[in-house]
Amino acid sequence: MEAILVINSGSSSLKFQVFGISRAASLVRLVRGQMEGIGVKPRLRAYANDKAVLVSKEYARDEIPDVKAAISVTGRWLRQNQNVDLVAVGHRVVHGGPEYDRPVLVDKGVLADLEKYTFLAPLHQPSNLASIRSFLENAPDLPQIACFDTAFHRSHSAVADHFAIPERFYIEGVRRYGFHGLSYEYVAERLRQTAPDVATKRVIVAHLGSGASMCALSNGRSIESTMGFTALDGLPMGTRPGQIDPGVVLYLISERCMTPTEVEDLLYRQSGLKGLSGISSDVRELIDSKDHRAKFALDYFVYRSSQCVGMLVAALGGLDAFVFTAGVGENSPVMRARIAEKLSWLGARLDSPANAAGKTLISESGSRVALYVIATDEELMIARHTLAVLSAHRPIQSVEDTISA
Catalytic residue list: 149
DSSP letters, 9-20, are E-SSEEEEEEEE
* CA distances from residue 180 to 16, 150, 252, 329, 362 in whole angstroms, order as listed: 18, 7, 29, 14, 23
CB of 369 within 8 A of CB of 348?
yes
Q: What share of the chain is helix, strand, coil (3-state, %, to 5)?
A: 45, 20, 35
CB within 8 A of 369, min separation 6: which ones?
Answer: 319, 320, 321, 322, 343, 346, 347, 348, 363
3-class state of residue 296 by DSSP = helix
User: For residue 41, is it left (φ>0), alpha (ψ between -120 and 50) or beta?
Assistant: beta
Q: Where are the beta strands (DSSP E) in 193-304?
A: 202-208, 212-218, 221-225
- The Cα–Cα gap between 71 and 53 comes to 20
- The Cα–Cα gap between 315 and 18 comes to 38
> What are the φ and ψ backbone dihedral angles of 86, each rounded to 5 degrees?
-70, 125
3-class state of residue 117 by DSSP = coil
Residue 125 has what DSSP assignment? H
CB of 322 within 8 A of CB of 370?
yes
- The Cα–Cα gap between 10 and 125 comes to 9
Which residues sit opposite 220 in a β-bridge? none
Distance of CA 181 to the CA centre of its chain: 7
- The Cα–Cα gap between 244 and 96 comes to 24
CB of 369 within 8 A of CB of 347?
yes
Tally the C-alpha atoms within 13 A of residue 314's C-alpha that lie toward its C-beta. 8
